[in-house]
Amino acid sequence: MKTDSLGGLRRTHHCNALRAKDEGKEVVLMGWVQRRRDHGGVIFVDLRDREGITQVVFNPHVDAAVHEKAHVLRSEYVIAVRGRVDRRPEGMANPSLDTGEIEVLVLELRILNRAAAPPFVIEDEVDVSETIRLKYRHLDLRRPGLQRNLLARHKAAAAVRNFLNQKGFVDIETPFLTRSTPEGARDYIVPSRVNPGRFYALPQSPQLFKQLLMISGFDRYYQIVRCFRDEDLRADRQPEFTQIDMEMSFVGEEDVMEISEKMLSTVFEAVMGKPLALPFPKISHAEAMDRFGLDRPDTRFGLELCNVSDILSRSEFKLFSKAVQKGGIVKALNAKGCSGFSRKEIDDLTEFVKIYHAKGLAWIKIREKDWQSPIAKYFSEEEKSLLRQRLDMAPGDLVFFVADRPEVANESLGNLRNFLGKKLDLVDESRFDFIWVTHFPLLEYDEAEKRYKALHHPFTAPLEEDIALFDTNPLAVRSRAYDLVLNGSEIGGGSIRNHQRTLQEKLFHILGLSPEACTEKFGFLLSALDAGAPPHGGIAFGFDRLVMLLCREASLREVIAFPKTQKAACLLTRAPSAAGKEQLDELFLSVKTR
């Protein structure tokens, strides 16, 4: 005999749908018991579903049997109730609830499932470790805040799909099981049972496949796609992540930027209720490094850096002058009004910049009549005058200096700038500041491996006017790459690609790949470029990071349903796990322990 666990009831409303205008209606609600309160014989239950909470009332004068049955209810029991919508008594409305003007007088109760006592209270302001939350993620996901975040993620994804579909893009899936290619982060590899000793790699991005799709004639492609990188994790990085992946044929940088801006404006309108101001500002990579020290500048506050190498290149303070003579720079940051910092605070900041390989942090406190600093005595009056003018130094200021290789000076002071922006409450957290960073260097030099590497990836095209520099000064070649930065976080990056085989082979050669290695690793791409490849370019957006910023969260784990820990583990399912001997034998593998 079939049974109906709902007892013939059919839900008529979500728990957040009822208002005073519904007074007198008979409704059916279903959800979880948030809390139960017994007030002098009348039992009140806050009933919760994904939309919100409604107070339901079990009154012995309305139905004694139903009231008696309600005594067993506990937190997280799953119930269905049929009842009548009633206004709350005078003075008993709850303004913190959307349904705070009404309650439901229960006429029928069905207990659909009982629940063990949860390890933590299902509410947003719960004091529980992230380890416990991730172990019981199925319960954590019941919290209203996480449900709001995942619903925002859903709205963002739907907005992306609707927008790109309307703009003529085609959603095409690309393989998860592919081959490992060099010049990226570490791959996750998958053994092949039917090809013993051979391995697939999980894609770090669909880069090569989307270029092949352009060569195939699909001139507008997109995917909201899972990607994988076996790298060290942090709050804004996961081993598996989601990209909005796009590629277009017959376009230049401006075309890609324009369509990206309009797409993001549509997303913000769908999730936040208002579009963005377009177009976004642009800044070259060189200017970003000069002013902010980082290629992902947070433009919500000032506190910009300043290069003072020319002023101090002959300084009697040898740490500065020798750094410049060796090809380094002296970079300064004026923390306006911060001369009251204690010596301990300055020492702490010195330790902070050492994280980014700076050897130290010089400083000067600007007083009314003099400069207070261990290094002030080394500056001539001319140097002081020039520094005062360039750095806009005034009494009460605290100026920091780092002298080192350009990459060290920029990164250390750039991160110090961000730290002080938060510490001094200079950042307007209500703002969403976008900025494009363009004209990145195409290459960087790896001192450890003594070879050039692609700064983005080896398929990025150089600026045409810089191609001649390949033979004389490869590090001076700028790329046709562009990153989109939001509030100091890179949310997207892309480039115009090499669409001619000769240029792609030249770049492979500069990267140290032999002709044999090019054929082995990228022969299929080179062959495809020979088949009539159109000019093309694209971009990929970190969807998790975008949603994290939209929801004003500090961690990706707050916008992913089932995230991994910083050690790439799933505490809910206890993955990764050991493989059995039989499974390993099928794959012709053995495990070597350390």
In whole angstroms, give the CA distance from residue 580 to residue 311.
Answer: 67
| The dihedral sign for the CA sequence 127, 133, 139, 140 | positive
Please provide the average confidence, as pLDDT, over all residues in the chain.
Answer: 95
SS3 188: coil
What pLDDT sits at residue 231?
A: 84
Question: In terms of Cα–Cα distance, which of 136, 116, 127 is closest to 562?
Answer: 136
What pLDDT sits at residue 201?
A: 95
What pLDDT sits at residue 3?
A: 43
Strand pairing class (170-171; 52-58): unpaired
* Enclosing H/E stretch for 213: helix 207-215
What pLDDT sits at residue 232?
A: 79
Burial of 40 (0-12, 13-18, 19+ CB in 10 A): exposed
For tokens 């990607």, the residue is: 227
Q: What is the pLDDT of residues 196-250, one digit of tens each?
A: 999 999 999 999 999 999 999 999 999 999 999 998 777 678 999 999 999 999 9
Alpha carbons within 13 angstroms on the beta-carbon side of residue 437 total 29
Q: What is the pLDDT of residues 41-86, one digit of tens each?
A: 899 999 999 999 999 999 999 999 999 999 999 999 999 999 999 9
- Which one-letter amino acid corresponds to residue 426? L
* Tokens read off for 389: 């003018």
Q: Is the pLDDT of residue 577 over 60?
A: yes
What pLDDT sits at residue 2?
A: 42
DSSP 70: G
* Enclosing H/E stretch for 252: none
What is the average pLDDT across 382-389? 96
- What is the DSSP track for 173-220? ---SSB---SSSSPPPEEE-SSSTT-EEE--S--HHHHHHHHHTT--E
Question: In terms of Cα–Cα distance, which of 529, 495, 526 is closest to 513?
Answer: 526
* Enclosing H/E stretch for 398: strand 398-404
For tokens 């009549």, the residue is: 369
